[in-house]
């Protein structure tokens, strides 16, 4: 070997101090939104079998979990409701009930922690007896424009309750512009829109649908969610949602779509979110429980990879635990 190599990259790796000099990507609790499931069927938090460590929270246990997250630096949560079967209908009108579970919990959270950033999901699937993100016609088609009208009503009920960020996850065309117009027209111009811009028809959503019992009762979601084979199509969605007034854009799932996160990052100056979804969580948890992977190491590596790809913020069920690990490592 040449004894006089001019370039030895390993010199910049020889100690933690020197590695930290040129570390390109930073991961901290401020980069997380913590997804939390909520329900009102009983007085106890219910463990989710396919997502070890996750629960369907009651109003009381939700407050305790949010308090624990805030204590380790996670300042934002997003709520997903499990709606009782007797409140699910084809017209999904429970989605805009001002006294529904989500608006009540928003008010409770914001009253206790005004500084907490509360994000809310806008879509019909938790409230629909059909299990789709939109209204379903008799012939099985998911109706776009009729759905958008309901989404606006849902967004308004959440904004009125105190939501900071409205996150439409439905993938209907034109919904960002319609929701922005509805919010502004009602005096909620300060409420942000985080658009699920590139949401793929992914097989990684299974545990989430189990947690909320929100799987489609018929058909699938491929007519409105994106084809996993496509990346260029995401850029079209970016252009449309940005023009319609989105404040932030999301790619979902995160890990299997790092290339899409990078493309979206390069196509816009808006903040980019990425959702490390339930299937990603379940895979890492299962492997760790079997002793095949070091949970802390692989979780933090997966999260830094999502940040490295270009995400400014990550929705992850690991958010609170990752924040604890990051604090321990400092």
- Cβ proximity of 130 and 217 under 8 Å: yes
Q: Report which of 44, 37, 150 is spatially closest to residue 102, judged by C-alpha positions.
A: 37
Which residues does residue 80 pair with via DSSP β-bridges, in sequence order? Answer: 37
Burial state string for 117-143 with b = 16 or more CB within 10 A and e = fewer than 16: bbbbbbbbbbbbebbbbbbbeeeeebe
Annotated catalytic sites, by residue? Answer: 199, 252
Task: Give CA–CA dist 178/157, Å, rounded.
Answer: 15
| C-alpha triplet 135, 124, 274: angle, nearest 5° | 125
Rounded Cα–Cα distance for residues 192 and 313 (Å): 15
Please, are residues 57 and 45 in contact by the beta-carbon 8 Å criterion?
Answer: yes
């Amino acid at each position: 070997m040449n004894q006089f190599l001019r370039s030895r990259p390993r010199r910049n790796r020889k100690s933690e101090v020197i590695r930290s000099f040129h570390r390109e990507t930073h991961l901290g609790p401020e980069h997380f939104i913590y997804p939390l499931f909520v329900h009102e069927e009983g007085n106890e938090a219910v463990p989710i079998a396919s997502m070890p460590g996750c629960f369907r929270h009651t109003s009381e246990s939700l407050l305790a979990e949010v308090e624990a997250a805030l204590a380790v630096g996670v300042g934002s949560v997003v709520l997903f409701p499990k709606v009782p079967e007797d409140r699910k209908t084809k017209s999904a009108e429970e989605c805009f009930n001002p006294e529904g579970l989500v608006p009540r919990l928003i008010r409770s959270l914001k009253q206790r922690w005004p500084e907490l950033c509360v994000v809310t999901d806008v879509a019909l699937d938790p409230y629909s007896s059909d299990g789709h993100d939109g209204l379903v016609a008799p012939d099985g088609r998911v109706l776009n424009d009729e759905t958008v009208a309901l989404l606006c009503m849902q967004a308004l009920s959440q904004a009125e309750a105190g939501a900071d960020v409205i996150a439409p996850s439905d993938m209907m065309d034109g919904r960002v512009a319609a929701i922005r117009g509805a919010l502004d027209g009602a005096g909620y111009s300060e409420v942000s829109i985080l658009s699920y811009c590139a949401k793929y028809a992914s097989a990684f959503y299974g545990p989430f649908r189990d947690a909320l019992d929100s799987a489609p009762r018929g058909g699938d979601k491929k007519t409105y969610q994106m084809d996993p084979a496509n990346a260029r199509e995401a850029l079209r969605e970016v252009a449309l949602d940005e023009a319609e007034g989105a404040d932030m854009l999301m790619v979902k799932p995160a890990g299997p779509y790092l290339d899409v996160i990078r493309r979206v990052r390069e196509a816009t100056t808006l903040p980019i979110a990425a959702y490390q979804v339930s299937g990603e969580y379940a895979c890492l948890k299962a492997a760790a429980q079997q002793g095949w992977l070091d949970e802390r190491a692989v979780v933090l590596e997966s999260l830094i990879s999502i940040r490295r790809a270009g995400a400014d913020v990550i929705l992850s069920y690991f958010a609170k635990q990752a924040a604890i690990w990051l604090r321990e490592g400092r």
